[in-house]
Structure 1
Amino acid sequence: MLFENKEVFCMLFPESIRTLVCSDFDETYFAHDRNNAKDVKALMDYLNKERHLLFGIVSASTLDMIKGCLDEMEMEYPHFIACNSGTELYYYKDGEEIYDLDYEKMLMQQGFTKSTILDVEKSLADRDIQLMVQELFVDAPFSRNYYYRETNREEDERRFQQIRATAEAQHLIVNISKCNPLIGDPADCYDVDFFPESAGKDAIVRYLIQKYDIDFDETYAFGDSGNDIKMLNAVKHGYLVSNATAEAKERHLKHADFPYNKGILSILERRSE
Structure 2
Amino acid sequence: MLFENKEVFCMLFPESIRTLVCSDFDETYFAHDRNHAQDVKALTTYLNKERHMLFGIVSASTLDMIKGCLDEMKMEYPHFIACNSGTELYYYKDGVEIYDQAYELMMLRQGFTKMTILDVEKALAAHDIQLMVQEPFIHAPFSRNYYYRETTPQEDERRFRQIRAAAEEQRLIVNISKCNPLIGDPADCYDVDFFPASAGKDAVVRYLIGKYDIDFDETYAFGDSGNDIKMLNAVKHGYLVSNATAEAKKRHLKHADFPYNKGILSILEARSESNGY
Q: TM-score, normalised by structure 2?
A: 0.98
**Unaligned stretches of 5+ residues in structure 2:** none
AA matched with 2:116: T
1:75-122 deviation digits (Å, cap 9, x = unpaired): 000000000000000000010000000000111000000000000000
Tell me, what secondary structure is at the counterpart of 1:243? coil
Residue 262 of structure 1 aligns to a residue in which SS? helix
For residues 46 and 266 of structure 1, the distance between their equivalents in structure 2, rounded to whole angstroms, comes to 11
The aligned counterpart of 1:177 is 177
Tell me which residue corresponds to 1:89. Answer: 89
How far 1:199 moved relative to its partner?
Answer: 0.2
Could you tell me which residue of structure 2 aligns to residue 163 of structure 1?
A: 163
What CA deviation, in whole Å up to 9, does each residue of 1:193-246 have, x standing for no partner?
A: 000001000000000000000000000000000000000000000000000000
Three-state SS of the structure 1 residue aligned to 2:247 is helix
Unaligned runs of 5+ in 1: none
Match in the other structure for 1:80:
80
Deviation at 1:19, TM superposition (A): 0.2
Summarize the alignment of residues 8-23 of structure 1 with structure 2, pairs less than 5 Å apart: 8-23=8-23
1:227 aligned onto 2:227: yes
**Residue 270 of structure 1 aligns to a residue in which SS?**
helix
Paired letter, 1:58: V
Which residue is 1:119 aligned to?
Answer: 119
Q: Percent identity?
A: 88
Q: How far does residue 15 in structure 1 lie from its aligned partner after superposition?
A: 2.1
1:211 and 2:211 are equivalent in the alignment: yes
Structure 1 CA distance for aligned equivalents of residues 115 and 107 of structure 2? 15
Structure 1 partner of 2:60: 60
Q: Distance in 2 between matches of 1:42 and 1:199?
A: 31
Task: Specify the SS of the correspondent of 1:203.
Answer: helix
Distance (Å, rounded) in 1 between the aligned partners of 2:11 and 2:105: 27
Comparing 12-21 with 83-92, greater Cα deviation is found at 12-21
C-alpha root-mean-square deviation of aligned residues, in Å? Answer: 0.4
**What is the TM-score of this pair, normalised by structure 1?**
1.00
Give the match's secondary structure for 1:21: strand
What is the CA distance between 1:163 and its match in structure 2? 0.1
Which whole-Å CA distance do the structure 2 matches of 1:124 and 1:230 have between them? 25
In the TM superposition, residue 272 of structure 1 has moved relative to its aligned partner by 2.0
Which structure 1 residue ranges, 4+ long, deviate > 2 Å from structure 2?
Answer: none
5 Å-filtered alignment, 1:112-151, equals 112-151=112-151
Structure-1 separation of matches of 2:15 and 2:196: 32
Give the paired residue count: 273
What's the CA shift for 1:133? Answer: 0.2
Return the letter of the residue paired with 1:21: V
